[in-house]
Amino acid sequence: MYFPLYIAQRYLRTSSTNNAINIITKIASVGIVIGAMSLFVVLSVFSGLKDFSLSFSNDFDPDLKVFPKKGKSLLITDNQLQAVRKIEGIRFYSKVVEEKVLFVYKGKEQVAEIKGVDNQYNNVNRIQKSLFQGQWIVPQTPQVVIGNGISHKLSMGLFDLNNTFEIFVPRPGKGAVTSPETAFNKSNLIPIGIYSVNDELDSKYVFADLKLTQELLEFKDNQVSAIEIELDSMANEPKITEEIVSAFNNQVTVKNRAQLNDSLHKMLNTENTAIYLIFTLVIIMTLFTLAGAIIMMILDKKHNLTTLYNVGTTISHIKNIFLLQGSLLTFFGGIFGIILGLIIVFIQNQFHVIMITETLPYPVKIEIENFVIVFSTIMILGFIASYIASSRVSKRLLEN
């Protein structure tokens, strides 16, 4: 066995004759365990919250969405659609038309986006699972599905035959508006379903038939706002993106689900980094105790170290004894802390000890990435603290 490692593990297993050193060492050990456990639990909680936050957009947004590079609409040829169908890895695609418009119901007004969808939309999107009242639209009809937020703001229910749900769409063109009646395309809609995802999305969309939306916006039959695509689970996303862009002669932009929710991902990543740094600072403060314990042990073992030095042990090897002792203490403390954290997260996952609401448990998620982050952080900081403390060993100290 490597000599400094042999001495280090002996020092680690045996108690010092100085009770104060034993107490400080135990405090450092407990601090490492609690620090590792806390960091792992917090990262697991944040992973759960992140998944919970993204679950709404993951259910609502497609795997890929094709936008025009310029303008608000895209003219699609039959050849381009054939090229898209032939791309390996694409399961379904759906043509959609989106535009902000004005909705009026019983004198109340609400600006929201009408989203015209074709009969393939439910193969690409899981919004139909979010219907909590009514049913999905039938193609080639004025039926619409509204968000729960819009329903509340307009005080609107379903199948109200006594009051009309109207849509006003600005007509394309230039010049001054001479008459409000000619400035808008108008139609009466029939709400037959209400969906609920989250507050933001519930107040954003009204789903309608693609053909109806194209007529209101005065679009051509092959004119759409975007194409939404669902991929196979093992599909090569970058390759498919390149093939789509090529099929449309570099006139489109393709975004994946993360890019569609870029601001949300940035916010969550920023929060995750901030939480990690705060708890890392707590661990750094804890490891000051470890450095202090090692320095006190160096002073306590000075007589033994002098003997080792006199029989030929180099200063470098003696430094390595305490470097390894601190690193071993950090290693075992980190492992034990992560195991305790894993137990806590597992209990929350299985038994829902802490609840956000009566029906919603606090979300947690076990990820390999969190194991690596916590263990690496503890070991790196523990090594630095041990290195700083072990550097107090010098020839001058041993010769005095």
Please determine, for residue 298, whether its predicted confidence score (pLDDT) is greater than 60. Answer: yes
Task: Inform me whether the pLDDT recorded for 41 exceeds 70.
Answer: yes
Tell me if 363 sits within 8 A of 51, measured CB to CB. yes
% pLDDT > 70, the chain: 97
Report pLDDT for 181: 66
Instruction: Determine the average pLDDT of the residues in 35-42.
Output: 95
The pLDDT-based confidence of 175 (bands split at 50, 70, 90) is low
Structure letter (DSSP) for residue 93: E
pLDDT band per the 50, 70, 90 thresholds, residue 389? very high
What confidence tens digit (pLDDT) does each residue in 105-142 have?
A: 999 999 999 999 999 999 998 888 889 899 999 999 99
- Tell me which of 200 and 370 has the higher pLDDT: 370
Q: Give residue 1's pLDDT band: very low, low, confident or very high (50, 70, 90).
A: low
Please report the pLDDT score of residue 58 as a whole number: 74
Q: Which residue has the higher pLDDT, 224 or 172?
A: 224
Q: Is the pLDDT of residue 182 over 80?
A: no
CA distance 162 to 153: 19
Rounded to whole angstroms, the Cα distance separating 355 from 353 reads 7
Can you give the pLDDT at residue 326? 94
The per-residue pLDDT for 55 is 79
Residue 357 pLDDT level (bands cut at 50, 70, 90): confident
pLDDT of 160 higher than 90: no
**What value does the mean pLDDT take over residues 158-176?**
82
What pLDDT does 173 receive? 65
Mean pLDDT (whole number) for 201-223: 95
Q: Is the pTM of this model over 0.95?
A: no
In the three-class reduction of DSSP (H, G, I as helix; E, B as strand; rest coil), residue 68 is classed as strand
When comparing pLDDT for 34 and 14, which is higher?
A: 34
What is the SS3 assignment for 5-36? HHHHHHHHHCCCCCHHHHHHHHHHHHHHHHHH
What whole-number distance in Å separates Cα of residue 320 and Cα of residue 305?
12
Spatial CA neighbour of 40 closest among 367, 332, 354, 361: 367
Q: Which residues of 83-95 are buried (b: 16+ CB within 10 A; e: fewer)?
A: ebeebebbebbbb
**What's the pLDDT score for residue 347?**
96
Long-range pairs, 238-242, Cβ under 8 A, ≥24? 239/89, 240/64, 240/87, 240/88, 240/89, 240/90, 241/64
- For the stretch 319-356, pLDDT in tens is 999 999 999 999 999 999 999 999 999 999 999 999 98
Mean pLDDT of the chain: 91
| Residue 322: CB atoms within 10 Å | 26
d(CA 31, CA 24): 10
Residue 311: per-residue pLDDT = 87
The pLDDT, as a whole number, for residue 177 is: 57
d(CA 121, CA 95): 8
